[in-house]
Amino acid sequence: MPNNTTQGQRALMTVLDTPLPDLVRRLGLAVAEAQQALDVNSLTIAQRMAEPNVDLGDGRMRSLLGLGFTPSFYAFSEATLEAKLTFTIRESTEFTVGASASGGYAGIFSASVNAEYSRKYGFEVQGSSSIAARLVSLPPPARLHQLLNEIAAAQEASPAPVSPGPSSGGSTSSGST
């Protein structure tokens, strides 16, 4: 291509230089990395939910897991890569010829020829692309759910720290003098 390419032509060449399998591979890797980040985030939330930090007014500290809450897990159910390109290349050629002749007295003759040739090129590129991903909420994995239930049951069975309440100020005194 000549050096005076337009921005649209440069964009087109960039798209054409990236093969479709590479675009699909990049999308797949991006989805895998995002899924891993979602999973790590859900596990971090599960750890926070296991900490006893809720007092329901009875002076006993409970965890959100012990109260039956579970962390949310999300998964990509689909990812779509769509690219549309439209090329329009036009070429037109025009050739016209005009001639005139005149004759005069004494054998003088004149002729004129007018020839015109033109060639026109047109190049138009339109493109659009989109990436769409759909997330769905899932229950925790079965083994993790079982483990969370075991942790919650163990927390309920063990004496939990009691919230500091008003002190009775009780001192014991023995008898009278």
Average confidence (pLDDT) over 156-168:
56
pLDDT higher than threshold 90 for residue 23: no
Question: How far is Cα 116 from Cα 94, in angstroms, rounded to an integer?
Answer: 8
Q: Residue 113: its pLDDT value, please? A: 80
Question: How far is Cα 88 from Cα 134, in angstroms, rounded to an integer?
Answer: 34
Residue 68: strand, helix, or coil:
coil
Specify the range with the lowest mean pLDDT, choosing from 91-95, 152-156, 165-169, 171-175. Answer: 171-175
pLDDT higher than threshold 80 for residue 94: yes
Question: How far is Cα 21 from Cα 31, in angstroms, rounded to an integer?
Answer: 15
- Summarised one tens digit per residue, pLDDT across range 26-52 is 888 999 999 999 999 999 999 999 888
